[in-house]
Amino acid sequence: MPRPAKRLLALAVDATLCVLCVWVAFSLRYEQWITLRGIQWVAVVVAIAGALPLFVASGLYRAIFRYAGPAAFMAVVRACALFGVGYGLLFSVIGVSGVPRTVGFLMPLLLFLAVACSRMFARYWLGGMYMSAIDRKALPQVVIYGAGGAGLQLAAALTQSREMMVRCFVDDDERLQGNTLHGLRIESPDWLKDNAARLGITDVLLAMPSASRARRAEILNQLLPLYLHVRTLPALADLANGRVQIHDLLEVDIEDLLGRDPVAPMGDLLHRNIRHQVVLVTGAGGSIGSELCRQIVQLSPKTLLLVDMNEYALYGIHQELEALAPHIHVVPLLASVCDAARLREVMRAWHPDTVYHAAAYKHVPLVEHNPVEGVRNNAMGTLTAAQVAMECKVRRFVLISTDKAVRPTNIMGASKRLAEMTLQGLAQQKSSTCFSMVRFGNVLGSSGSVVPLFRRQIEAGGPITLTHADITRYFMTIPEAAQLVIQASAMAEGGDVFVLDMGEPVRIIDLARRLVELSGRTVRDDASPDGDIELHVTGLRPGEKLYEELLIGDNALPTAHPRVMKAHEACLPQEELWRQLEVLNAALRNSDVPALKRTLQQMLPGYRAHAEVVDWVHMERHRVAMTVVDRDDESANSDLTQPVAIAL
């Protein structure tokens, strides 16, 4: 029905209720059912003429009945109270001949009960609450962990839904346990452990958006043995704009499992090299580069230059930043960091104060199979960008490095360590450019991260693929990593290698198990042959390490930031470094992968190269060459078996 028609229907219902309540009030007074006649109809007319305008003015007909809540109920109370005062004053205090004074008190009470019950019935029927009662056993049985404001909003939203059935709240606060909230009992965590299987509970909705990560991790660890599907609400800032809906529920974040709270950023370090300055970010469309850009635009730069050679990624981050900070001048620039001429014209046009160099090929197996391009982009591209920055008198040049640069076993790590060394070599020269490097481990949610891969494999029913049962990695969220990069670079003095505190390393197999268990499934292994998801170990890939390190030596020093350390890594003398780089360039020009790896081993004492050359082009050339040799051998053997004519 159209909205005006619904309001007219509600008015008609309330007018009918006024007539019925007057009739019932007279019948109660005379202790028998009567027929209204004569002066008694004055009480009916006054009831309708007094109640309906008050109901309209109080907003009773603006409320949507199916979503009516405490506010709508209070509006009914206020309107009926005002009506009761006026009606009682007229018929009970002043008095009207032929109308008993008792009616002046009874009728408003009856009308309040009738109107309130009509609203409750409309909410129950139109909101589909009766369907939840009918289909109670067929719906997923869930509990809400957290009997606070967010839990109340979630319960209210789920009440309108027929997708889930909320059984109760669970909360650690003993003062709340045993009470009811939104008609649901508040139970203890021990109650959940004892009754989850018996009651068929399948899901836990974690409604504690303001809890610390350490507290959330503690709760999740308690829930792991129950094999329930755990989901969580967004942050409080995301809830502020409206009612919580079912689609707002998220899978548990891996940072909740890690239980590590980010340190609040230092405002002075954040703004020092950005506010009212021109900032350039290479690799602006990548995982780290794009988050750096998001952080930078919120720090009020004069201009932000986005440099990337991926057209689609550059377009995407440019559109996002324009919506995020329309008052900031953001310029998207297609360019490769290996193209000195293009970088030179960009820097000469805008004269950036700071360059954040995030452009790199970072996927270990992919770079291992394409070593020439990996080294050319990661190492020589860094050198090219840094030399152009020095030539254009950029004040600060910051390299985003990786823990894989420490004692590398793969081309990607070796190329990033070589990129660090090129900056260390440039820092030895007299220049107005301050070079620094920031080194950290894996970031959650980046392209190629194991967490999205594991989630997809779990949804597909498995198996989860792991390269080794004992492999460990450091993890950090992308926003935290980007903030720490900005703060670390503000403390640079020249040639610094900053290392971010990544917390404790995590075993990937433990991470996979937790994700499986928190999805409500079980791991299939020797101890549980009937489990849902199998963990399949495929073996280490070429160049992959069991564990990562952040420091080459043990000389890390603290800085002004508790999560940032500074290391002074050894570097080749400048003359020797440039000589070795010439040899490396020759190998790159000739696409000579064996020579490339030998040069890297000479330049990087800690580099433990993969024994085989797995470059796709090199292997294909070798395969073709071997095929030709085999054909020649077959041809020669075939000639030996042919009949030979002998002249006698």
Residue positions annotated with a catalytic role? 404
Do you find a cis peptide bond into 352, omega within 30 degrees of 0? no
Q: Are the beta carbons of 635 and 439 closer than 8 angstroms?
A: no
What is the bridge-based pairing of β-strands 464-466 and 329-334?
Answer: unpaired
For residues 204 and 226, what is the distance between their CA atoms, to the nearest angstrom? Answer: 10
* 372 residue type, one letter: V
CA end-to-end span of the chain: 114
For residues 34 and 22, what is the distance between their CA atoms, to the nearest angstrom? Answer: 11
For residues 402 and 473, what is the distance between their CA atoms, to the nearest angstrom? Answer: 12
Residue given tokens 């909101």 in the structure block = 127
Task: Annotate 31-57 with DSSP letters as a single string.
Answer: TS-----TTHHHHHHHHHHHHHHHHHH
What is the bridge-based pairing of β-strands 496-500 and 564-567?
Answer: antiparallel
For residues 589 and 28, what is the distance between their CA atoms, to the nearest angstrom? Answer: 104
Residue given tokens 């989850």 in the structure block = 196
Degrees, nearest 5: CA angle 455-143-194: 100
Task: Annotate 416-469 with DSSP letters as a single string.
Answer: HHHHHHHHHHHHTS--S-EEEEEEE-EEETSTT-HHHHHHHHHHTT-PEEES-T
Helix (H, G, I), strand (E, B) or coil at 534: strand
- DSSP conformational letter for 252: P
Q: Are the beta carbons of 347 and 394 closer than 8 angstroms?
A: yes
For residues 289 and 308, what is the distance between their CA atoms, to the nearest angstrom? Answer: 9
CA nearest to 77, candidates 105, 58, 62, 92? 58
For residues 185 and 421, what is the distance between their CA atoms, to the nearest angstrom? Answer: 63
- Kind and range of the H or E run holding 8: helix 3-30
* 18 residue type, one letter: C
For 315-378, the three-class secondary structure string (H helix, E strand, C coil) is HHHHHHHHHHCCCCEEEEEECCCCCHHHHHHHHHHHCCCEEEECCCCCCHHHHHHCHHHHHHHH
CA nearest to 469, candidates 433, 523, 522? 523
For residues 564 and 266, what is the distance between their CA atoms, to the nearest angstrom? Answer: 12
For residues 109 and 524, what is the distance between their CA atoms, to the nearest angstrom? Answer: 64
* 351 residue type, one letter: H
For 541-570, the three-class secondary structure string (H helix, E strand, C coil) is CCCCCCCCCCCCCCCCEECCCCCEEEECCC
Q: Are the beta carbons of 437 and 471 closer than 8 angstroms?
A: no
